[in-house]
Chains A and B, each alone.
Chain A
């Protein structure tokens, strides 16, 4: 199990090695990149436990209790939203707000559904052997996430590229990986790194690059209130990190307006 490094150090581009050796001998660690998954998503560990074959017999029971736990949670979140509405000075009994706590609770659960998903689930059957070693780019993937500091959305686009090493992945799976990690309470830096790590773990390519540009509503709607500011983060692994020409090619192909 790799050692957790302080948060500040984790987000320098290229600091993360492509194949952090120690953590990949453990099969459970293959399902989630543990450094970063410990940063958000306690639920993710619970679900990855369910995937291990020797525990299959227990899985169905766990699923029932999981559904019950879900509706229990929904109830708690709903009550919390009712409290919030009344504390904000609104009239909770007016027509427009009658079912708002329930709707808001469900919306919030949808916006954080990434906690319940793992890359294992979605990638398992869409990796193909293909003798292709040139860059594959999927760009302009719309992304919506929630700022973990203010619980306010941030949204933007993700551009992903990888250099296959005999294995290519179904293109929509790249977008699905973005979905899994973005539908959580996130920090943009961590999100970028989690996406890059998930792809490098799953495919073991020669290089992965992820760039995210997003507008943070916590900065636009409140606080400093700068309408047009956008935040760009990137993670370059493998040859994208080592070879400036490769990086330049990627940036030229994705960042032109």
Chain B
């Protein structure tokens, strides 16, 4: 039973449809790919706050996100460049532009490379980024890294989202290299995203890597799909947060975190 579940997951990696895990933009975080079988699936599927399940399955799921497969490699990038460029040429024509005019001659290639850069999170794995930067340190006070600039792409309109991420965690004997928090943000934000999911993925990744006492992630971002088009509200910002562990349970800890990120 377990074995067949494993193979089912690995063969369905790219075409993950319909279940709770597929909401997580094509990638398996520790939450879905779990050998613990039926109950785990049931817990992940109805979109239970991956939060809690993240923190108590810590031991087994630590290995899961580290085994996360990439859906894309550098070679894939080179191979898909011509068809991406052709698609962009079609788009330019469809918009009424002349792809042969001087300013647009190499635009399909540039736009294709740019789009690949904006989705480079698909090529990266948490394990590569974190592997050696976890240190044993007897520190149990809050660690916050705030104002991390974040750039993502809205998965609904393919238009940029940009903003800031604030991360706080309460270490439990293990601390993480500070830039690694920013690198985790990069991996998950450089994808086609929904802000809610992005916040959760970052929180879960940190939980899985460090098993801290608690993690809090707050993202405030501007969505160009709302600013440049549609409802066109220039100054609106969207704020999402994920609080795990003691950040969720203890209001004072949460308050401290929120006060410190605001100052």
Contacts and interface: CB of A to CB of B under 8 A. Distances in A.
Interface of A: 7, 39-43, 73-74, 76-77, 79-81, 83-85, 87-91, 93-97, 99-100, 103-105, 107-112, 115-116, 142, 144, 148-153, 155, 185, 187, 217-218, 220-222, 227
Contact of B162 (A80, A112, A148, A221): A221
Given A39-B103, A83-B87, A187-B103, A91 B26 contact: yes
A217 B94 contact: no
Interface in B106-136: 106-107, 110-111, 114-119, 122-123
Contact of A76 (B18, B94, B102, B114): B94
A152 B160 contact: yes
B144 interface: no
Nearest to A144: B228
Interface stretch (B50-58, B76-84, B176-184): B76-84
A142 to B, nearest CB: 5
A107 B117 contact: no
Contacts of B102: 7
A87 B87 contact: yes
B17 A80 contact: no
Interface string B196-225: 000000000000000000000000000011
Contacts of A187: 103
B149 interface: yes
Nearest to A92: B15
A100 B90 CA distance: 17
A222 B117 contact: yes
Contacts of B234: 142
Contacts, number: 178
Given A84-B115, A91-B15, A150 B107 contact: yes
Contacts of A150: 107, 110-111, 114
A84 B87 contact: yes
Contact of A108 (B93, B95, B123, B194): B95
Interface in B11-57: 14-18, 22-23, 25-26
Interface string B220-247: 0000110111000010000000000000
A150 B106 CA distance: 9
Of A73, A85, A187, A222, the most chain B CB neighbours within 10 A belong to A222
Contact of B114 (A80, A97, A107, A218): A218
